[in-house]
Structure 1
Amino acid sequence: MPAVYDFIIVGGGTAGQVVASRLSEDPSTSVLVLEAGADLTADPRVNIPIWYDTLLGSDADWKLRSSSQPGLNGRVLGLHQGKALGGSSSLNAHVFVPPFKGVIGSWEALGNEGWNWTMLKDYFAKAYSSPNVAKDAKEDLAIDGWLESSEAKGPIKTSFGDSSVGSFSCLAGIDSEGKRNNSASAYYKPAELRPNLHILTNSLVERILFDESKPPKAIGVQYSLDGASKTAQARNEVILAAGAFQSPEILQLSGVGRAERLEKYGIDIVMNLPGVGQNLQDHMISYTSFQAKDELETKDSLVRKEPEAISQAMQEYAATQSGPLASLGVHTYAYLPLSAPDRSALQELFTGHASEDSQEHKATQAYYDIANTTVLDPKQPSAAYLTALGQTNYAKDLRDGTIPAASPGKFITIGLMLSQPLSRRSVQITSIEPEDPPIIDPGYLSNPLDLEVISRHLLGVKNLAQSPQLGQLLQQPLQLLDPAADFQGDLNAAKKYARENLMSMWHYVGTCSMLPREKDGVVDANLRVYGIEGLRVVYASVIPLVSTANLQATVYAFAERAADLIKRDWNGE
């Protein structure tokens, strides 16, 4: 392969594969993709939906962890992120849901002209194919109003959204044959024989190379492969698509970031951009499990790893590509506001808790103003709810790593996710060695308003379980898997439970934010790094405000838009 390419893409994950596929559609354009992980497109753990959790903590996972979180009683959380072709789309829970339209509008309000729902919805349609749904089924599924199936004809095949406040049946990134559809299978595999597209796996990018011009220009990358350090040159651009942790890490190691921090490690400053690594946002979630009726089919026997249940499920999947292995069991979502009394109480708290002066990020006030508006608006969601057919069990604290034993019985779990967190912190390098993981501090619940919002939502979970529709699936009277989740209307009990049980949803964004430079932005509305030529950042690290719920669908649409911006700049398209 030649050592010089038109475009070098750092990261072969969800967004990287989209951009690589779209740019290489032009046979005269050469594209190199450098992926730190392996090609696992044939691995059954990737392809069979239910086995996604077997990849967590494996070599397909970066195996990162948070710093000790004071807001969570000092707990250390596992922060899973894909390290394989397809990135996190190869090991996530394959939930494919739209964002709330107002969130996308907030991107534009933060100073990014043109980034609104009207623009982005066309890129959702370009990214995925919706299953055909009979007209008389749309009302039952509550999916009317997002994107009609006739509009959505993209590479990602789904098997089952509405972006309004309320409940809906959610799509999943699973094709009609019961296999996971990720960016590697949907975007890369159809393009892998193109002579102008080159993929190098197990290649860890160490730093970006710049020339000595003013302004500096990115001219290539240095990476390690098979124990040797190598370089590749870019004629047009280096495109950083390495995620919300590795993208800021690579920039910092390359001399792009807050100057005084980089100087501590003896790194030559290429561009002083204080926002690099700042503004890290993530969704937090709490799971509440209720005992289900005996006749309901759940995933609990698989959670308990019962040999007979696993054997039967594998036989069914092998024969028909259906059954328990073909789905995670997450089928419904709801985007909900708080009740009127809760909103009134929060209005007083927002008024009495003005945004703190932040030397860390200059957009703090703008984010506070957005949250103040959305959380208090009865037509905008402050939380997302999901239901899962089965219990969840996980290590709540990596300081000891204990995973509780799965319980006997059948359960339905309600997951409650904080949609618009105000808490945010940073990703910072710890040395000049690319192999050393950065310090990742999401600052969970560091803003007290987050605890107030999610605790009030937690108080309403039992009411949802008692609703006629859900209640008919559950044992009566209600039996909770964890008695501590029965708060009896006590807000302080809900707050205590939140600190002890909230987990990451692995929806990391914001560390290379698309914001005006005077607000500590890292890239402009065309995703170009400020002050540097030939360097762009795509992927979730650029998203300035986290989406309403799961990120997968939004990242695909974002990457499709990014590819068009790049082609427009270089080809005039």
Structure 2
Amino acid sequence: MSRQAFDYIIVGAGSAGCVLANRLTEDGKASVLLLETGGSDRSIFIQMPTALSIPMNTQKYAWQFETEPEPGLDNRRMHCPRGKVLGGSSSINGMVYVRGHARDFDEWEAEGAEGWNYAQCLPYFKKAETWAFGGNDYRGDQGPLGVNNGNQMQNPLYRAFIDAGVEAGYFATEDYNAAQQEGFGAMHMTVKNGRRWSTANAYLRPAMSRSNLTLVTQALVHRVLLEGKTATGVEYERGGQVHQVTANKEVLLCAGSIGSPHLLQLSGIGKPEVLKKAGIPVLHALPGVGENLQDHLEFYFQFRCKQPVSLNRQLGLWSRFKIGARWILTKKGLGATNHFESCGFIRSKAGVEWPDLQYHFLPAAMRYDGKEAFAGDGFQLHIGHNKPKSRGRVHVQSADPRQPPSILFNYLQAEEDREGFRDCVRLTREIIAQPAMDAYRGAEIQPGEAVQTDAEIDAFVRQAVESAYHPSCSCKMGVDAEAVVDPQTRVQGLQGLRVVDSSIFPTIPNGNLNAPTIMVAERAADLIRGLEPLEASQAPVSMDASWQERQRPGKPQRSL
């Protein structure tokens, strides 16, 4: 079998892989092979922001993983889609751009990821983006990733929600991705000129004309090839033919928080008892592979709307045709937004230092997957407790790379997580009861006014919560016994192998994960090339100085 050789082999053309493919080829010195199991991202359903529910639920564009029965959710199996297309999950996600709170990254460093504190990560967030409203100490204006606010909150419900948050005693925040995350304000999305601005559009497409980048799609990677404790290449299958390729420098796994631990395990790298159970020889014992799995849960808090302003009246066939036609012709209108144009980040109680609850506001009442909507006008808030204590795992089941891994998040196993969702229900009701919502607030559809006690809320949550599609932390970065990669993103105990994607987060940030995944890849690209890191930022972070005594600035609340 002939073996081609490249300096770097990247597995996965997703949110991180596309960034690495661009950065590692931009100086023309290194040859790079980028392998992707999926294919083209040219579909209108991927490129049109309002169609976001379609690719996520389409086998062609996403791995349709399911969890094992989740004990904390009445043994429900939860949907866990992951991108299987150029751009990966950035081509199927909700396009919400949230970096996370500054303290999330300081927490990473405290967990052993030296050099990944906020001051050192912020320059890479800036490097990645072009913020529609110009650069400053916190926002970039020359990066590949286009970020804006969609249609600028033209629907009055967006502003009413922000005003209600302020009336309830919370901060207003001008830019939650800048100095102050905590509060209510406009939400940001990865959309440029009316199109989904995935990493395929932002990073990969500009690099595809370079002679030192080779892209191979429809390629299922079987395993990383090892010689002793050195990764020498990968084996993959395409069109029924098995190929082996050599990496002169490094193999870079960017297959995501499900795919990367699974591929390590298929390669004989992981917890010995898990590998042996699957019939895979142990080539390198690394007990943390697939452990520490974390995710965000959310549910929809739904209300009827008293005024005819919601998007529910835009869901008919004729309305959808007009929205689609306008987008095709102009890339404007309701087709050019994900519709999450206002948001909130709050702390669940006094004694919580930075926000752990997140709101996405939608001026419609419908399911996130687009399968159901109710008759009449409505609005909803996607609300979740974003700093879970529960931990799960990803375990290989077979040496056959086509068999999906066993996934168990252990959702809501920690009492703190269950308490967090009780806070979600009670605090949300108080916010929506504010005068700013009086003109719009109708009857509560879900959870429903009958759901009041802790036991009633817990029962509702077990049945109603859904994944926010943020699996992470399953190959965590650090220096302890459970760490899979070191702070340079190198797999512990091996040469020539790194993992660069959301699986290496030590803990899950308070927010959507695409932005921090791209940041991780930008910083990792410099580490891989041996470049000096960007100069650490001196930009200050705004915090509520009285966080220990109060849950929000306007109203003293109960302590932990």
- AA paired with 1:106? E
Long gaps (5+) in structure 2: 150-174, 536-560
Q: How many residue pairs are counted as aligned between the two chains?
A: 505
Long gaps (5+) in structure 1: 134-143, 341-375, 396-402
Pairing 1:61-80 to 2, within 5 Å after superposition: 61-80=62-81
2:138 to 147, 150, 157: 147
Q: Is structure 2 residue 319 aligned with structure 1 residue 336?
A: no
Paired residue for 1:300? Answer: 312
- AA paired with 1:385? Y
Paired residue for 1:344? Answer: none
CA distance in structure 1 between the partners assigned to 2:136 and 2:14 by the alignment: 30
Kindly indicate whether the alpha-carbon contact (under 8 Å) linking 1:299 and 1:329 is maintained by their aligned counterparts in 2.
no
1:157 to 134, 141, 146: 146
Q: Is structure 2 residue 257 aligned with structure 1 residue 241?
A: no
Q: In structure 1, the residue corresponding to 2:33 is in which secondary structure?
A: strand
CA 1:145–1:20 in structure 2 vs 1: closer, same or farther (change >3 Å)? closer
- AA paired with 1:47? Q
Kindly indicate whether the alpha-carbon contact (under 8 Å) linking 2:7 and 2:30 is maintained by their aligned counterparts in 1.
yes
CA distance in structure 2 between the partners assigned to 1:534 and 1:115 by the alignment: 21
Pairing 1:488-503 to 2, within 5 Å after superposition: 489-503=452-466
Q: Is structure 2 residue 207 aligned with structure 1 residue 191?
A: yes
Paired residue for 1:450? Answer: 417
1:317 to 318, 327, 342: 327
Q: In structure 2, the residue corresponding to 1:312 is in which secondary structure?
A: helix
- AA paired with 2:46? V
TM-score of the aligned structures, taking structure 2 as reference length: 0.86
Pairing 1:400-439 to 2, within 5 Å after superposition: 405-439=372-406
- Deviation for aligned residue 1:449: 1.8
Q: In structure 2, the residue corresponding to 1:129 is in which secondary structure?
A: strand
1:560 to 522, 530, 540: 522
CA distance in structure 2 between the partners assigned to 1:208 and 1:463 by the alignment: 53
Q: In structure 2, the residue corresponding to 1:221 is in which secondary structure?
A: strand
Q: In structure 2, the residue corresponding to 1:420 is in which secondary structure?
A: coil
Paired residue for 1:137? Answer: none
2:220 to 181, 200, 204: 204
Identity %: 31
Pairing 1:81-92 to 2, within 5 Å after superposition: 81-92=82-93
CA 1:405–1:88 in structure 2 vs 1: closer, same or farther (change >3 Å)? closer
Q: Which runs of 4+ in 1 moved over 4 A?
A: none
Paired residue for 1:138? Answer: none
CA distance in structure 2 between the partners assigned to 1:259 and 1:125 by the alignment: 41
CA distance in structure 2 between the partners assigned to 1:15 and 1:394 by the alignment: 25
Paired residue for 2:356? Answer: 382
C-alpha distance after superposition, 1:546-571 (max 9, x if no partner): 11011111111111001011011799
C-alpha distance after superposition, 1:460-510 (max 9, x if no partner): 2111111233443x24xx31223x432564222211111111110011111
- Deviation for aligned residue 1:131: 0.6
Q: Is structure 2 residue 507 aligned with structure 1 residue 507?
A: no
TM-score of the aligned structures, taking structure 1 as reference length: 0.85
- Deviation for aligned residue 1:262: 1.2
CA distance in structure 1 between the partners assigned to 2:65 and 2:500 by the alignment: 21
Paired residue for 1:18? Answer: 19
Q: Is structure 2 residue 287 aligned with structure 1 residue 290?
A: no
CA distance in structure 2 between the partners assigned to 1:485 and 1:16 by the alignment: 43
CA distance in structure 1 between the partners assigned to 2:100 and 2:437 by the alignment: 24
CA 1:485–1:104 in structure 2 vs 1: closer, same or farther (change >3 Å)? farther
CA distance in structure 2 between the partners assigned to 1:339 and 1:531 by the alignment: 42
CA distance in structure 1 between the partners assigned to 2:292 and 2:305 by the alignment: 40
CA 1:315–1:266 in structure 2 vs 1: closer, same or farther (change >3 Å)? closer
CA distance in structure 2 between the partners assigned to 1:186 and 1:47 by the alignment: 12
Paired residue for 1:5? Answer: 6
Kindly indicate whether the alpha-carbon contact (under 8 Å) linking 2:74 and 2:462 is maintained by their aligned counterparts in 1.
yes
CA 1:146–1:429 in structure 2 vs 1: closer, same or farther (change >3 Å)? farther
CA distance in structure 2 between the partners assigned to 1:76 and 1:548 by the alignment: 24
CA 1:391–1:217 in structure 2 vs 1: closer, same or farther (change >3 Å)? same
CA 1:569–1:224 in structure 2 vs 1: closer, same or farther (change >3 Å)? farther
- Deviation for aligned residue 1:323: 1.5
- AA paired with 1:191? A
C-alpha distance after superposition, 1:70-126 (max 9, x if no partner): 111111111111100100000100001221111110000001111100011100111
- Provide the aligned C-alpha RMSD in A: 2.2
- Deviation for aligned residue 1:404: 6.7
Kindly indicate whether the alpha-carbon contact (under 8 Å) linking 1:156 and 1:183 is maintained by their aligned counterparts in 2.
yes
Kindly indicate whether the alpha-carbon contact (under 8 Å) linking 1:485 and 1:497 is maintained by their aligned counterparts in 2.
no
